[in-house]
Structure 1
Amino acid sequence: MTQNRILSHMLAGIVRDYGEPVMIWQAGTLLGTLLVAWLLARLVRRKLDSHRRARHESVRFGAESLHKALFPLLGGLLVWAVQTALDDYMSTSLLELALVPLIGIALIYIVFFLARRVFGRSGQAHAWLSITEKAVSVMVWVGMGITVLGIQDEVLRWMESVRFRVGTAHMTLLSLTTGLMWVCATVIFALWLGSVYEDRVMRAHSIDANLRVALSRLGRALLVLAAVLTSFSLVGIDITVLGVFGGALGVGLGFGLQKIASNYVSGFIILLDRSLRLGDTINVSGLQGSVTEIRTRYTMVRGLDGIETLIPNEKLITDVVQNHSSYLTRGYAKAAVQIAYTSDLERAMALLVEAAQGVERVLDDPAPAAYLAGFGADGINLELGFWIEEAAKGTAGTRSTVNVNIWRLFKENGIAIPYTRRDIRLVGGLPAALGGAVEIGHAQTIGEVQAEGADAQAGLGVDPGTGTARDVATGA
């Protein structure tokens, strides 16, 4: 009996028309309609390609699915129009059967387009994107199979017969499935609208960058909220029950979720008061880097070593934040060096200035300057100060180049860089532990023997004057 009902639908029409002239007419009409649809899809695709080249990667990523949906969508519409027009004059079983895969495949690619715009913002696949595409593909293909077999009414009646309770509400498998589908569809559609809205807002260069980010985040949140409320209404859930949920959420925010709520509120404050901007170089709690992204919960900072750190927005509100980009992007650097007292001081200071000239990213205005920082125990302390352009990119390489130039110029011009020297005085004879050092196989001077004794005493780790430093002085 079930087989008869199945064959009485689409498959029965195909079996009836098979071998008849009307089947040839339907096949010719279907091929001609699909050829027209293919030409139209190709024309529309060219129009979209010219517009797509000016868009960013995430839009191009989603547009690929939209292009794939053009042919089955246009083909389905044209086949439906032709089938409707010829239905009164001839059998259209083949056209009716062709509508199922055309509309189904078009629906799959349209959902892919919406999902990739929502979950593929950076032009790369997301975990939720893969789950959504697989779930939609399975549901659509199952639906197409049920439609071709003509058992959709039996399946719906069976789903309606499966009843259960959720709390005090009586539900069926059909109502639950329909509700979930409506919720998913409305939320994905709202996220897609939010994505389009965010693209438009972010391209409005007349608006401040922080304000654009705040408006896009707020717009997407409102659209998602409206989608959830709308889907609940369509399913039949009373929205007034959300009042209880809102009260519970308020209690949760007061206890366990207060940090999360504080970060979200702090994020909107940062975006609205424009205290930080994208690209600013900041220093917070010893971490220095460039602000690459300001989210509603955290701010992403890329350090000078290239490592990205997520900083909770609350920390940027409550802690002291140094902004190095508020009025300039250059940074001040110093190179310290010591020269011998016998060296030419004025010549050394001139060589310091010369060492910083011509180095990449070292600014000529303000010009590098050399300073006499002080007089040390072993030599004269000099300091070279210079400004580096775009210090947020790092200063270590530039300072290294300047130090190499200093070493080279000092070596070429005879400027000596002193090193620490110590004079050790031995009082009395050598300790017994060093007695073996005097018995040597070749002639040595008294000064050499004393030097060996001094080195050995230094290895003992005792200071000659205080008993706490490296060298030792022994008394008689």
Structure 2
Amino acid sequence: MADDTGTGRAFPNQIDGTTPSAPASTPSDAPGFVPELATQPVTDLVDLGQSLYVQAEMFLTSMLRPWNAYQLAIALGLWALAHILRALLGPPIRNWMGTREGWPKWRMRILVVVHQRLRPIFFVMLLWIAVVVMREVTWPSRSYILGIIATLATAWIVVVFATRLIRSIFLRRTVRYGAWAYVTLHVLGLTSDAARLLDRAALEAGEFRISLLLVVQAVVILGVLIAVARFFTSTTSKRIQSNEDISPSMRVLIVKMLQISFYGIAFYIGVKAIGIDLTGLAVLSGAIGVGLGFGLQKVVSNLVSGVIILLDKSIKPGDVISLGETFGWINTLGARYASVVTRDGKEYLIPNEDLITNQVVNWSHSDDFVRLDIFFGTAYGDDPHEVRKLAIDAAKGVDRVLSFKAPVCHIVGFGDSSVDYILRFWIRDPTQGLTNIRGNVYLALWDAFSENNISIPFPQREVKMLGGEMPSAPD
């Protein structure tokens, strides 16, 4: 710890760099055995642990000094004062936030995060005020501990706000805790010692060596790069999805390609930054690729089918399709499946391979115009010319039926009890449903026929009893 002159580090390095020799009981006559090399990692760890123990003992001893104890007491008092300020000012700030109608969502999210961190924010502000005041009225060494606490608290608050940009909760917590640990070690001057300790805790097998330091670096670097790649991917995807000049299928394809590119670049840069050589993985990756090719044929087939669908634009988000008994519109196109939402609210996840190999009816592939047919019959005593005219006029009066593509009505046959007709009409919004428009046209036909005395016959049967008289009706 620093003395009353205010100089020195918080935790001075006590490592002298010497390496203890091997124990006398080591079998030095064994062939190929070198005592110094065999005991080097163990002795280094012991030496470093003793150094850290000495520094921790010096820190605890320094806390017994009056001014250091006073500074800790001042920090605890400022924390209690920050808690009181949070209790007093938190509700009014919350009420003020509720009146901010019309503000952008990003600004409201910042306010919510700030409101959740009011206590540490007040604590940091009070700490720096106390540090400035004490440096003006007393010696710098008597505010040294407060300065360290203020620096650590400020760095931790900055880390909290910076990691809020990471959406993944697991990744956010990993980066946050890692950044807190690094900042703490850096402020206390223990970065090099911690790095040496983590580097010496390693597993070695021939030329292969992996240490805890390498694992920590990999987690931090890859976490940051993946978070940056995810941020750029989401931002670019929103702009592409809002561009009306690009077709929906091309938007999906571009977004997928950007995701693969950004995450691939992030992984490659992270691995190279850590220092891992990827050339040795070429043979292994080839063998793994062959195994995956046989074991994941369906998955690969669906992935390739999804790319083909996006390229040939046969199906795109918003199209109305029929596949077997499934009728609905495409909600999303994924890498493995397509999401089809039906009129009854069910969402079917259809594999991309089925959309390629099976017969699919795309009601809105080239345009939105769809022709619908309905069948009906009238009695033989009704004039067919008048029936056709009434049917066409009834269809024209229904909403969603197109007028510039005039409905037509034709006789298709003479049935057992009725003259059979077909009524054809066009719509341009199949996403609004087909059954409902057919029902509306049938209802319009019913009203028109009722007003003009056109009858709709139905089969009638007469039953005769053979071998006796008809039974008389009961009284």
Under a length normalisation based on structure 2, what TM-score does the superposition of the two structures give? 0.67
Over 3 Å counting, the alpha-carbon distance change for 1:269 and 1:382 in structure 2 is: closer
Over 3 Å counting, the alpha-carbon distance change for 1:270 and 1:60 in structure 2 is: farther
Alignment-derived partner of residue 382 in structure 2: 343
Q: Tell me the SS of whatever aligns to 1:255.
A: helix
Tell me, in whole angstroms, the C-alpha distance in 1 between the residues paired with 2:226 and 2:206.
25
Alignment-derived partner of residue 100 in structure 1: 152
Give the counterpart of 1:220 among 259, 270, 274: 259
Q: Tell me the SS of whatever aligns to 1:421.
A: coil
Q: CA deviation at 1:11?
A: 10
Give the counterpart of 1:211 among 247, 250, 255: 250
Q: Tell me the SS of whatever aligns to 1:371.
A: strand
C-alpha distance after superposition, 1:322-370 (max 9, x if no partner): 3322333132223322222233444433332343233221222222333
Matched residue type, 1:15: A
Over 3 Å counting, the alpha-carbon distance change for 1:210 and 1:14 in structure 2 is: farther
Give matches, 1:75-224, under 5 Å.
Answer: 90=140, 91-115=143-167, 129-136=168-175, 159-160=198-199, 162-164=201-203, 169-224=208-263
Answer whether contact 2:332 2:340 (CA < 8 A) is retained: yes
Give matches, 1:14-53, under 5 Å.
Answer: 14-15=68-69, 53=104
Tell me, in whole angstroms, the C-alpha distance in 1 between the residues paired with 2:391 and 2:110.
58
Over 3 Å counting, the alpha-carbon distance change for 1:133 and 1:228 in structure 2 is: closer
Give the counterpart of 2:302 among 263, 283, 287: 263
Answer whether contact 1:76 1:103 (CA < 8 A) is retained: no
Q: Please, which runs of 5 or more residues in structure 1 have no aligned partner?
A: 32-41, 116-128, 431-445, 453-476
Over 3 Å counting, the alpha-carbon distance change for 1:65 and 1:273 in structure 2 is: farther
Aligned residues: 399
Alignment-derived partner of residue 443 in structure 2: 404
Answer whether contact 1:378 1:420 (CA < 8 A) is retained: yes
The percentage of counterpart residues that share the same residue type is 27
C-alpha distance after superposition, 1:109-131 (max 9, x if no partner): 3222132xxxxxxxxxxxxx333
Over 3 Å counting, the alpha-carbon distance change for 1:351 and 1:268 in structure 2 is: same
C-alpha distance after superposition, 1:71-120 (max 9, x if no partner): 999x999x99x999x999945542331221222132123222132xxxxx
Which deviates more, 255-264 or 147-156? Answer: 147-156
Which deviates more, 284-293 or 140-149? Answer: 140-149
Under a length normalisation based on structure 1, what TM-score does the superposition of the two structures give? 0.67
C-alpha distance after superposition, 1:402-424 (max 9, x if no partner): 22232233334332222212233
Q: Please, which runs of 5 or more residues in structure 2 have no aligned partner?
A: 1-53, 83-92
C-alpha distance after superposition, 1:258-315 (max 9, x if no partner): 3222322332333233333332223344533322222233222223433222232333
Answer whether contact 1:63 1:113 (CA < 8 A) is retained: no
1:247 aligns with 2:301: no
Answer whether contact 2:340 2:348 (CA < 8 A) is retained: yes
Tell me, in whole angstroms, the C-alpha distance in 1 between the residues paired with 2:214 and 2:169.
26
Q: Tell me the SS of whatever aligns to 1:416.
A: coil
Matched residue type, 1:5: F
Answer whether contact 1:338 1:381 (CA < 8 A) is retained: yes
Alignment-derived partner of residue 459 in structure 2: 420
Matched residue type, 1:316: L
1:393 aligns with 2:447: no
Q: CA deviation at 1:63?
A: 6.5
